[in-house]
Amino acid sequence: MIEETSKQNIELRIQMASEAYQSLKKTTVKERAAFMNAVADRIEALGEELLTTAHTETSLPLARLTGEKARTAGQWRSYAKAVASGIYTESRIDLAQPEKQKSDIRKYNIGLGPVVVFGASNFPFAFSTAGGDTASAIGAGCPVIVKAHPAHPQTSQMMADVITDTVKEFGWPQGIFSHITGTSHEIGAFLTQHKDIHAVAFTGSFNGGKALFDAASRRENPIPVFAEMGSINPVFALQQLLENKAKALAKEYVTSLTLGVGQFCTNPGVFIARKGESLDTFISAVKNEIQEISPAPMLHKGIYESFKKHKSIAITQAGVEVIASTETEEGKGSAAVIKTNAQNFINNPVLSEEVFGPFGIIVTCENQGELIQISQKLKGQLTITLAATSDDIHENSELIDILKDKCGRLLFNGMPTGVEVVYGMQHGGPFPSTTDARFTSVGPDAVKRFVRPISFQNWPNEFLPEELKNENPLQINRMVDGEINSESLKLETV
């Protein structure tokens, strides 16, 4: 039973967030980093209870949850380190040149203001209440209001308590973090349209993300929404690689497709290759591999029902052949892989829709031209994978040029599941995989979504933020007259 936070209480929390923003905006990057590390400490200190609660609420195995918990603390730490380095302040100092009538102009990034984060169901720790969106917004200097995902309320509450306790420990205003619960869509619309909310972060379905984007764009003062809405993450298997290792690739593909009952945003839902003996070998191997997969409980009933429905819609399309499926078992996600030809895939948009769960489509192409045709028709994706040898890459430059325009992350072999939390990660991509391809929601660069620059012209040193003061008290890297350094400025006058 999820408690619905009342409108009155939400209003109060937004007001508290606005007030807290005034404090947070005056913290330095070092202070926010210390806070973030303290949150990481507290997450790590949560014991068995967190894991068993999350396991009960999500059906995710304990081993996976143990890993996700470590990842979540790691996110707070790595984002903290990045924030502390000052990289996201992008501090720029252009010193006055009185002889050229040029002013002293200094710029750095501040937080946008209160941010609403919508927790996701498929990562109860890493993409939820205390997940990457919350960490990056706080790192940016923004108070956060989390709308908890209703599928794991107790897990969310435990994570919310961690942040609330850290706020208390630091003596910061309570409004820096709020936790809203409820199941109605109205809450999301209300939060997104509220005049004192300055940005929204979301991970979930296309319909959910797009509705928030639309609501935000239609406000009197539009605000940015970063919605990560998933994708079908195509795998293009090229000829030489397929000939070399069709069987091994089938194992790798099925493992990735069914990992975590297929409930990853980067699940490789489509496999595209040219017809022939190698593809036949691949398909036979997929059949065998799928038989090895036991149906497992999905995250929650809604996801299970949706999987069952969308799988059934896909399977019953014309020109589709089921090549492998596991026994169905009520309440569990049973894997299936279907096959269709390129023209059918291109002409039937239903087959390009994400089926969230362990479900794959193998698209068979008559020739190279059909691979190109498919790539041209593809919508924006989080990832695209090339199962290829170097020779394959050499011979498919046109295809690869097109695929670069369609995704945020391009893999050379391997599988897209497993989104590493590093600077180099782009977890984003052209619409409809996200609402803004210019940003990522994984890796420290996620902070960039929530900052904006402010310039100070001829501002007295004593009133500048620490990040921009002559002395460079935080010893961060800054660009001074076009050169990056961490020096303090010795100026004759202020």
What is the set of active-site residues?
A: 228, 265
In order, the DSSP letters of 333-352 are E--EEEEEEHHHHHH-GGGG
User: Residue 47 has what DSSP assignment?
Assistant: -
Q: Give Cβ neighbours of residue 491 (< 8 Å, ≥ 6 apart).
A: 95, 461, 470
- The C-alpha atoms of residue 49 and residue 185 are separated, in whole angstroms, by 30
Stretch that binds a copy of itself, among 48-56, 177-185, 359-367, 409-417 (CB under 8 A): 409-417
Which parts of 396-471 fold into alpha helices (H)?
A: 397-404
Closest CB to a copy of itself among residues 279, 476: 476
Which of 47, 98, 171, 424 contacts a copy of itself by CB under 8 A? 424
Q: Is residue 238 at the binding interface for a copy of itself, with CB under 8 A as the rule?
A: no
Q: Is residue 25 at the binding interface for a copy of itself, with CB under 8 A as the rule?
A: yes
Nearest distance, CB of residue 234 and a copy of itself, angstroms = 15
- The C-alpha atoms of residue 42 and residue 107 are separated, in whole angstroms, by 34
Nearest distance, CB of residue 486 and a copy of itself, angstroms = 11
User: Residue 27 has what DSSP assignment?
Assistant: S
Nearest distance, CB of residue 25 and a copy of itself, angstroms = 7
Closest CB to a copy of itself among residues 238, 335: 238
Q: Is residue 349 at the binding interface for a copy of itself, with CB under 8 A as the rule?
A: no
Which of 256, 364, 426, 441 contacts a copy of itself by CB under 8 A? 426
Nearest distance, CB of residue 224 and a copy of itself, angstroms = 7
Cα angle 286, 335, 272; round to 5: 45
Stretch that binds a copy of itself, among 41-49, 166-174, 309-317, 399-407 (CB under 8 A): 399-407
Q: Report yes or no: 467 and 31 within 8 Å, Cβ to Cβ.
A: no
Which of 61, 67, 349, 453 contacts a copy of itself by CB under 8 A? 453
Q: Is residue 456 at the binding interface for a copy of itself, with CB under 8 A as the rule?
A: yes
> 204: closest CA among 126, 149, 129?
149
Q: Is residue 477 at the binding interface for a copy of itself, with CB under 8 A as the rule?
A: yes
Cis before 432 (ω within 30) = yes
> Identity (one letter) of the amino acid at 487?
E
3-class state of residue 61 by DSSP:
coil
Q: Is residue 393 at the binding interface for a copy of itself, with CB under 8 A as the rule?
A: yes
Q: Is residue 206 at the binding interface for a copy of itself, with CB under 8 A as the rule?
A: no
Q: Is residue 463 at the binding interface for a copy of itself, with CB under 8 A as the rule?
A: yes
Q: Is residue 460 at the binding interface for a copy of itself, with CB under 8 A as the rule?
A: yes
CA distances from 98 to 103, 459, 470 (A): 7, 15, 18
Closest CB to a copy of itself among residues 311, 449: 449
Q: Is residue 489 at the binding interface for a copy of itself, with CB under 8 A as the rule?
A: no
Q: Which of residues 98-117 bind a copy of itself (CB under 8 A)?
A: 102-103, 105-107, 110, 112-113
Cα first-last separation, the chain:
60
Closest CB to a copy of itself among residues 159, 235: 235
Stretch that binds a copy of itself, among 42-50, 216-224, 307-315, 354-362 (CB under 8 A): 216-224
> 435: closest CA among 152, 211, 190?
211
Tokens of 282: 């691949």
- The C-alpha atoms of residue 328 and residue 414 are separated, in whole angstroms, by 29
Q: Is residue 255 at the binding interface for a copy of itself, with CB under 8 A as the rule?
A: no
Nearest distance, CB of residue 437 and a copy of itself, angstroms = 4
Stretch that binds a copy of itself, among 304-312, 341-349, 352-360, 452-460 (CB under 8 A): 452-460
Tokens 């942040």 belong to 163
Nearest distance, CB of residue 87 and a copy of itself, angstroms = 8
Total residue count of the chain as it appears in this document: 494
- The C-alpha atoms of residue 293 and residue 139 are separated, in whole angstroms, by 41
Nearest distance, CB of residue 358 and a copy of itself, angstroms = 22
Q: Is residue 209 at the binding interface for a copy of itself, with CB under 8 A as the rule?
A: no
Q: Is residue 224 at the binding interface for a copy of itself, with CB under 8 A as the rule?
A: yes
> Identity (one letter) of the amino acid at 194?
H
Phi, psi of 483 (to 5 degrees): -115, 135
Q: Which of residues 361-390 bind a copy of itself (CB under 8 A)?
A: 379-380, 390
Q: Is residue 408 at the binding interface for a copy of itself, with CB under 8 A as the rule?
A: yes
Closest CB to a copy of itself among residues 207, 316: 207
Tally the C-alpha atoms within 13 A of residue 82's C-alpha that lie toward its C-beta. 23
Closest CB to a copy of itself among residues 52, 390: 390
Q: In the chain, count of helices (H) and strands (E)?
A: 15, 19
Stretch that binds a copy of itself, among 42-50, 257-265, 366-374, 479-487 (CB under 8 A): 479-487
In order, the DSSP letters of 129-198 are TTSHHHHHHHHHT--EEEE--TTSHHHHHHHHHHHHHHHHHHT--GGGEEEE----HHHHHHHHH-TT--
# chain residues binding a copy of itself, by CB under 8 A:
71
Closest CB to a copy of itself among residues 319, 414: 414
